[in-house]
């Protein structure tokens, strides 16, 4: 779409052709919720935003604010709070789709925008786990307990797991290597390769994603409401911590035994 047309409201077909170009084909990068329903919704929102003065970076900042609001609400051990978190994370996902679509429609994609977007995901997804830790302790108004420490540690592991992926790009760039094709992620060690196939069919790593965690939080909140305690939330936190540890340890092993750094 030309810059002259950027000030006009595009058609939905134009948004799909330009704003979503190649997005749905990125099987490892596009979230399942994006492929299932959110890209359909985001196309309608994007076509109305393109003529407005709002910038893609402003949309990304709004995405981060919404995500942090969800993380704050996640700390309150109520069913209403958990449902509100779910709604806010859906809005967070919508904004995550729309900011890039608007940038592509206006031909204003930038490294700064990519940086802000990734920073936002790291901050929000780790903050959600911190909120889960506070919830497992009975809420932010209660005395601190070891559940808060478990949440903080799990959040740290979530950030480490994400940084491990980002550092591949940094290492290749500093080392003078071209961008790594996705096929280079295949490990040369048979055991690691087989385990990676297992996780392709059983994607436990999704548990620490914002969308999946918000869905499971509602399930835990329902169980907690029936029981009258926060046991289900505590079980969920332990599961999140275990998966985050598995990702943080297993990811560099997969990277170092593949051709991603060669």
pLDDT in tens, 5-60: 456 889 999 999 998 987 766 655 678 888 888 999 999 999 999 999 999 999 99
Q: What is the pLDDT of residue 165?
A: 86
Question: How far is the C-alpha of 226 from the C-alpha of 223, rounded, in Å?
Answer: 5
Over pLDDT 90: what percentage of the chain?
Answer: 63
- Is a pLDDT exceeding 60 seen at residue 184? no
Residue 261 lies in a domain: no
pLDDT tier at 3 (50, 70, 90 boundaries)?
very low
- Among 1-5, 94-98, 143-147, name the one with the lowest average pLDDT: 1-5
Q: Is residue 229 part of a domain?
A: yes
Say how many C-beta atoms besides its own lie within 10 A of residue 202's C-beta: 9
Establish if 24 belongs to a structural domain: yes
CB distance 217 to 86 below 8 Å: yes
Residue among 196, 207, 193 nearest 157 (CA): 207
Q: CA 252, CA 163: separation in Å to the nearest integer?
A: 10
156: left (phi over 0), alpha (psi -120 to 50) or beta: alpha
Model pLDDT, residue 199: 62
Helices (H) and strands (E) in the chain, counts: 10, 0
Residue 221 included in any domain:
yes
* Number of residues assigned to the chain: 262
Q: How far apart are CA 221 and CA 48, in angstroms?
A: 36
Neighbours of 64 (CB within 10 A): 20
Distance CA 162, CA 205 (A): 11
Residue 137 lies in a domain: yes
46: domain range?
5-256
The encoded tokens of residue 34 equal 């994006």
Residue 103 forms part of a structural domain: yes
Q: pLDDT by residue (tens digit) across 87-122? A: 999 999 999 999 999 999 999 999 999 999 999 999
Q: Are 188 and 257 in contact (CB under 8 A)?
A: yes
Per the domain annotation, does 262 fall within a domain? no
The DSSP code for 6 is G
The pLDDT value given to residue 28: 59
Measured CA to CA, the distance from residue 180 to residue 158 in angstroms comes to 23
pLDDT surpasses 90 at 186? no
Measured from the Cβ of residue 63, the count of other Cβ atoms closer than 10 Å reads 24
Contact between 91 and 67 under an 8 Å Cβ cutoff? The reply is no
Residue 120 in contact with residue 95, Cβ under 8 Å?
no
Structural domain tally of the chain? Answer: 1
HSE, CB side, 13 Å, CA atoms: give it for residue 38. Answer: 20
Bigger pLDDT: 139 or 70?
Answer: 70
Residue 137's CATH number: 1.20.120.1760
């Amino acid at each position: 779409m030309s810059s002259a047309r950027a000030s006009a409201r595009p058609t939905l077909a134009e948004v799909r052709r330009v704003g979503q170009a190649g997005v749905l084909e990125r099987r490892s990068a596009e979230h399942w919720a994006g492929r299932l329903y959110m890209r359909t919704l985001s196309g309608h929102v994007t076509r109305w935003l393109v003529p407005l003065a709002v910038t893609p970076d402003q949309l990304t900042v709004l995405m981060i604010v919404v995500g942090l609001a969800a993380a704050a609400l996640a700390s309150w051990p109520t069913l209403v709070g958990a449902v509100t978190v779910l709604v806010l994370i859906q809005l967070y996902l919508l904004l995550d789709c729309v900011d890039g679509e608007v940038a592509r429609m206006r031909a204003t994609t930038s490294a700064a925008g990519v940086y802000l977007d990734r920073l936002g995901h790291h901050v929000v997804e780790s903050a959600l786990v911190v909120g889960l830790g506070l919830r497992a302790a009975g809420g932010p108004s209660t005395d601190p307990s070891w559940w808060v420490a478990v949440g903080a540690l799990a959040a740290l592991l979530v950030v480490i797991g994400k940084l491990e992926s980002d550092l591949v790009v940094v290492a290749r760039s500093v080392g003078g290597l071209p961008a790594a094709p996705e096929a280079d992620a295949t490990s040369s060690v048979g055991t690691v390769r087989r385990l990676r196939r297992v996780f392709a069919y059983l994607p436990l790593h999704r548990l620490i994603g914002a969308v999946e965690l918000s869905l499971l939080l509602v399930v835990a909140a329902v169980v907690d409401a029936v029981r009258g305690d926060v046991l289900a939330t505590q079980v969920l936190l332990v599961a999140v911590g275990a998966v985050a540890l598995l990702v943080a340890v297993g990811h560099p092993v997969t990277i170092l035994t593949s051709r991603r750094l060669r």
